[in-house]
Amino acid sequence: MKQTTKEKRIEHRLQPGVLTLSGFMGTDKRYWQEIVAADEAKLEELGITAEEIADRMQYFTDQSWDLFDRELELEGKFSVETEVVRGKLPCPFSHAGIYRKAFTILTRIDTGESLRWSSLNLHLIRDHHFFEGIGSPFRLNPEDLVRILF
């Protein structure tokens, strides 16, 4: 796959040690565009959009943002907390904005399944449909997101 200069710059910024210690690609050898295309195909199969997933994630983050590391029970089946730490991260796609290092942990009380995402994850999913590469510490599998969030 031939990449443009801009796409090569994005590919570089996704690698370990450039913006984050572990990067965004994990062990995935595909180009980021192929990862996005595969995840978009999965979302279409599941009948949901990246924006709907990001909206749901944002809802949980917003509900727990100001609780200062305290858990909150929501909808009778979720436990959620958001931890805000020092620092900010830029978007690897050179999109405007710097994102606070904040991590939301959501647990389904009925199944015990958990998800963990950052403010940057929310942006990457909503604006770039990028769930990160397989093996990335912050990879969010679309199937897991749909099963746990909804």
Task: Print the domain residue range for 93.
Answer: 5-149
Q: What does DSSP say about strands 114-118 and 98-108: parallel, antiparallel, or unpaired?
A: antiparallel
Q: Give the C-alpha separation, 143 to 138, whole Å.
A: 15
What confidence tens digit (pLDDT) does each residue in 47-103 have? 999 999 999 999 999 999 988 778 999 999 999 999 988 999 999 998 888 999 999
Q: What is the mean pLDDT of residues 127-133?
A: 98
Q: Which pLDDT score is estimated for 97?
A: 84
State the alpha helices, DSSP H only, in the chain.
Answer: 5-13, 32-46, 50-64, 119-128, 142-149
Q: DSSP letter at 79?
A: E
Q: How many domains does the chain have?
A: 1
Mean pLDDT of the chain: 95
**Predicted TM-score of the model (pTM):** 0.94
